[in-house]
Amino acid sequence: MSILAIGNRTLTWGERTYVMGILNLTPDSFSGDGLLPSPPAPLTPASPPIFNKNGGRGERGVDQARRFLAAGADILDIGGESTRPGSQPVDTDEELRRVLPTIRSIAAEFPDALISIDTYKAAVADEALKAGAHIINDVWGLRADPELAAVAARVKAAVVLMHNRSKPANVEVRERLGNAYVAAEYQDLIEDVKRELLESVAIARAAGIPDEHILLDPGIGFGKTVEQNLELVNRLDEIRALGFPVLLGPSRKSFIGYTLDLPPDQRLEGTAAAVAIGITRGADIVRVHDVEYMLRVARMADALVRRK
């Protein structure tokens, strides 16, 4: 079994499934779980940790982190920019204002917690790692910002390299079900995803990131149709065969909503099914909103497929 020694933790791949809890510090999350009001109150990147009792930005994130860690979450994934299909980007300063107070607060209160920063911007990742993050979760697989790989290599951070063919022109909007990608073209879905993930791996290696610090994410919901997402989950073992740990992020996504004809707040069972199947196909980490429930799903799936 290979391992990842990061922060004060060691993750042993293949031993069990690790659960990553999502903390969306945004006002516009697709799943309705964004922790920021709209518009957010002004902050600066140098703002101290926030612990106000009126639902302030830092406190909302820390409250959710407490719940996730108490439930047994292994990693906290903190993001300050929505990546839902068709979402609008935010600038670096605003993203830093959203994420840094919560990262600092969590790192101070829970020094053993593993924190992931969900960003594709080198400047955001650099400041987040200084504030207490350990992992960079890049939805563009080191392709969007040429400086990001160097940041990860310099501080010996782990990186999640996600496959992404998102194009705003290919987004379908349905008021009840949310946004989804249509007409995403692949010559061979699995082979194309594998090849492009390995291109991201090559970028990481060239920057000096060691293989043991590299994780792969097939990019469920990013530039894929509903059918393509279903196929990716079912064939996740072919991504795992590339030899790197795999993160799967199906939680509440539109491929579940379109399959079941349900809005984001009614996708718990669909997420559970995708998580369970993903684990049987080799997922090492599942990235989820509903940590308490998905931890139970992961433990049960592990009991079935990881029996010694």
Report how far apart, in Å, the C-alpha atoms of 10 and of each of 5, 13, 212, 280 are. 4, 10, 12, 22
Instruction: Measure the CA–CA gap between 275 and 287, rounded to whole angstroms.
Output: 9
Evaluate whether 78 touches 103 at the Cβ level (below 8 Å): yes
Q: Which helix (H) or strand (E) holds 292?
A: helix 291-305
Instruction: Based on the residue annotation, tell me whether 287 is a catalytic residue of this protein.
Output: yes
Instruction: Measure the CA–CA gap between 103 and 93, rounded to whole angstroms.
Output: 15
Determine which one of 60, 267, 281, 287 is catalytic.
287
Instruction: Measure the CA–CA gap between 47 and 21, rounded to whole angstroms.
Output: 24
Residue 81 DSSP symbol = S
Neighbours of 38 (CB within 10 A): 8
Determine which one of 253, 267, 281, 306 is catalytic.
253
Coarse DSSP helix, strand, coil percentages of the chain, rounded to the nearest 5 percent? 40, 15, 40
Neighbours of 263 (CB within 10 A): 17
Instruction: Based on the residue annotation, tell me whether 167 is a catalytic residue of this protein.
Output: no
Evaluate whether 56 touches 50 at the Cβ level (below 8 Å): yes
What residues form DSSP beta bridges with 168?
A: none
DSSP secondary structure of 188-214: SHHHHHHHHHHHHHHHHHHHT--GGGE
Closest by CA to 248, choosing from 228, 232, 270, 266, is 232
Instruction: Write out the catalytic residue numbers.
Output: 253, 287
